Amino acid sequence: MRTEPHPAPSGWRDGWLLAARASPSPNFGPRPARAPIDLIILHSISLPPGRYGGPEIEQLFCNRLDWEAHPYFQGIRGLEVSSHFLIRRDGELVQFVSCDDRAWHAGRSSWRGRDNCNDDSIGIELEGLEGETFAPAQYRILARLCQALARRYPIAHVAGHEHVAPGRKQDPGPGFDWTLLRQVTRWPADRFPTANLPSTQ
């Protein structure tokens, strides 16, 4: 009888966080050799836009979305995308791709002098609409997730999709509280897009 390996003491197994609900996506690939996984990219998503709590985000990332279920879906028909994690409004944490692999979330992008941010980043989607606020539970889970990632990978930067793809993307948007994330993670200011952070002096 085959037995499953014991979970790693850090709470990870092959790039999967054991505290998250796994929902494997087919939309991923290998990272380039020796790519430093040192960037977290934050996104926001709701499907259809402004509607929360349904299965559509998970269906999209797992290529199971019914394109006929809503008129909005016709505009994204055939899209094959993924993120490593999704944090729902109630704080549920879902993982779609191993963090050791390359998820398809950033697209054409550049940050800290490097292009193709999918190569060396971890994508986290927050259930929400750009320009609107996010739930307290989402910040709590996001902070714990960021800290768990930093214990496993050499995380040195956190940015929004709007920062790595300016002019093309606007999420998570002005409703996201970067100052709060900095406070709850207790990370230094130089890890964050400083234009969004008022001085704490």
- In this predicted structure, what is the pLDDT of residue 2? 35
Read off the tokens for 65.
């979305």
- Pairing type for strands 121-127 and 39-45 reads parallel
Given pLDDT bands bounded at 50, 70 and 90, which one contains residue 194? Answer: confident
* Domain 12-193, architecture per CATH: 3-Layer(aba) Sandwich (3.40)
Q: Does residue 125 have an active-site annotation?
A: yes
Q: How far apart are CA 117 and CA 158, in angstroms?
A: 12
- For position 8, what pLDDT does the model report? 42
Catalytic hit among 125, 127, 130, 162: 125
Query: pLDDT class for 197, splitting at 50, 70, 90?
Result: low
Task: Indicate the domain borders of the chain.
Answer: 12-193
Of the candidates 78, 77, 117, 86, the one whose C-alpha atom is nearest the C-alpha of residue 24 is 86
pLDDT tens profile 32-60: 999 999 999 999 999 999 999 999 999 99
Alpha-carbon gap, residue 165 to 167, rounded angstroms: 6
Mean pLDDT (the chain) is: 92
